[in-house]
Amino acid sequence: MLRQFLSLVALLSVVSGLAANELSIDAVNSAEPNAKSRSPKGLDALIVKTQVLLDRAHFSPGEIDGKQGDNLQKALRAYAGAQAIASDGRLTDELWGKLSATSRDPVLQQYAISAADLKGPFTERLPSKLEEMKDLPALGYRSAREAIAEKFHMSEELLTALNPGKKFDAAGETVIVANVSNKISGKGARIEVDKSAETLKVFDGAGRLLAVYPATVGSEQKPAPDGTLRITSISRNPVYRYDPEYKFKGVKSQKPFTIRPGPNNPVGTVWIGLSQKSYGIHGTPHPEKVSKTESQGCVRLTNWDAEQVASLMQKGSPVAFVEGPEASSAAVPKKATSRSRRR
């Protein structure tokens, strides 16, 4: 009898553990830390909830994908630092208590697909080479599914997993999405780009931290500069301009060319020009690669994060490039060094 009871308890524990990792709207909205969710593999309800809460608090995890990863750990460390909590990037009970108290709104919500979501124009086949993009009329989303995923800061994989059987092709169809917002209050006064941590921080005029974002910052071949630059322009839906002087790997053209605007433009939906030739902060057609692959010297963010930064900043604002111990210091700006190329 005792053996049967223990077997029943074990079975219920397994079922409970599986339920905690389900990606239903109720499972994610009610997710809480437990032994099963501390080191998950694949998509996980608690990680989805944590990523959405961090996104709302403006400690961006980058793309909300329901997976453990470096960008989630960066966001957790940054949030912990702002709360004066020691952190190694793991979700502790103390950290969860602070984060979960920031918002009581559901982290997932139902959303009715609109006619605008389906309007396009969509660019179903995107060339992999820059030269082949120059003749396209626009660099739009590949599909309504991609557009909706980006609208709610999500990976297409997560969006699909939350909506099994949905085709994302009918106005009025209801789907489950992350409950996020693109709005952010405050006025940015300066930006700090940490080259070693690969993060971008925005501070207000009183030195208060407004937001933290994961970023791809230069490469070994084309490193980011040192010192401080200034914002010289903020362009939304920019035209991408390639100059043969950049000498990008894989680009054979010896003549300048342009690529028309769109979210899948090489610099995404935002270009924030800096006071060093061809250098800037920008979006990307590949949000899943932010802070995971090298850039052509510039600072690359997800499109939605780049749009937030653009909404906070003004022309003339300083952008300091720091590394490790220099981060968040009030050092006197110095002239930037190291030549870098756009993208």
Let me know whether 66 and 95 are in one domain: yes
Residue 341 lies in a domain: no
**Could you give the count of Cα atoms lying within 13 Å of 252 in the half-sphere of its Cβ?**
2
Point out the domain boundary residue: 178, 198, 230.
Answer: 178
Which tokens go with 242?
Answer: 């390639």
Task: Identify whether 263 is part of a domain.
Answer: yes
Same domain, 216 and 316: yes
Same domain, 117 and 56: no
Structural domain contains residue 64: yes
> Could you tell me which residues come within 8 angstroms of residue 161 by beta carbon, excluding any fewer than 6 positions away?
23, 43, 66
Residue 89 has φ and ψ, to the nearest 5°, of 95, 0
List CB contacts of 329: < 8 A, sequence separation 6 or more.
322
Within a domain: residue 335?
A: no
Which of these three, 178, 201, 235, is where a domain ends?
A: 178
Q: 308 and 192, same structural domain?
A: yes
Q: Are residues 57 and 21 in the same domain?
A: yes
The pLDDT tens digits along the chain (343 residues) read 433 333 333 333 333 333 345 789 999 999 999 855 444 567 999 999 999 999 999 999 999 999 999 999 999 999 999 999 999 999 999 999 999 999 999 999 999 999 999 999 999 999 988 899 999 999 999 999 999 999 999 999 999 999 999 999 999 999 999 999 988 989 999 999 999 999 999 999 999 999 999 999 977 667 788 899 999 999 999 999 988 887 777 788 889 999 999 999 999 999 999 999 889 999 999 999 999 876 666 899 999 999 999 999 999 999 999 987 666 643 333 344 443 333 4
Q: What is the CATH number of the domain that holds 28?
A: 1.10.101
Which residue segment(s) compose the domain that 269 sits in?
188-326
Q: What is the pTM of this model?
A: 0.87
Domain count for the chain? 3
Q: Is residue 50 a contact partner of residue 65, using CB atoms and an 8 Å limit?
A: no
